[in-house]
Amino acid sequence: MAFSYTTETRPNVLGDLVLLRGTFNAAGATQGQVDCSEILSLIFACGAMGDTYGDVTGGGVDGAFVIHPDSTPAKFIIDCVSGNTGNWWALGTR
């Protein structure tokens, strides 16, 4: 298996900002990229919340967190424990 994600088909618009959200599944992977470039040109803030409650010690040991590289302004990476699932969100401009 590999990392997969879904995107909610109804984005929320807040003035000139767009809030996207979705789910992720890290089946057999410890990280994966979420691509928001079909809707966003730039992400200002993003995050991930794991819902695999056995993996919650945090501190980079397990759980889920986001890496947003400068080189990919409308993409980010979710880094987590293999098999973790959860939700993600991204706030940016079109």
In a domain, 34, yes or no: yes
Q: Is 35 within the bounds of a domain?
A: yes
DSSP conformation letters of 25-90: EETT-SEEEEE-TTT-SEEEEEEEEE--TT----TTSSSEEEE--TT-TTEEEEEE-TT-EEEEEE
| 39-78 pLDDT tens trace | 999 999 999 988 766 555 555 566 788 998 888 899 999 9
Cα distances from 40 to residues 26, 45, 84, in angstroms, run 23, 12, 26
Say how far apart CA 18 and CA 1 lie, in whole Å: 31
Please write the tens of the pLDDT for every residue from 12-28: 898 999 999 999 998 88
pTM of the model: 0.83
Give domain status of residue 46, yes or no.
Answer: yes
Q: Please give the mean pLDDT across all residues of the chain.
A: 86
Contact between 51 and 85 (Cβ < 8 Å): yes
Q: Is residue 92 part of a domain?
A: no
Q: Is residue 48 part of a domain?
A: yes
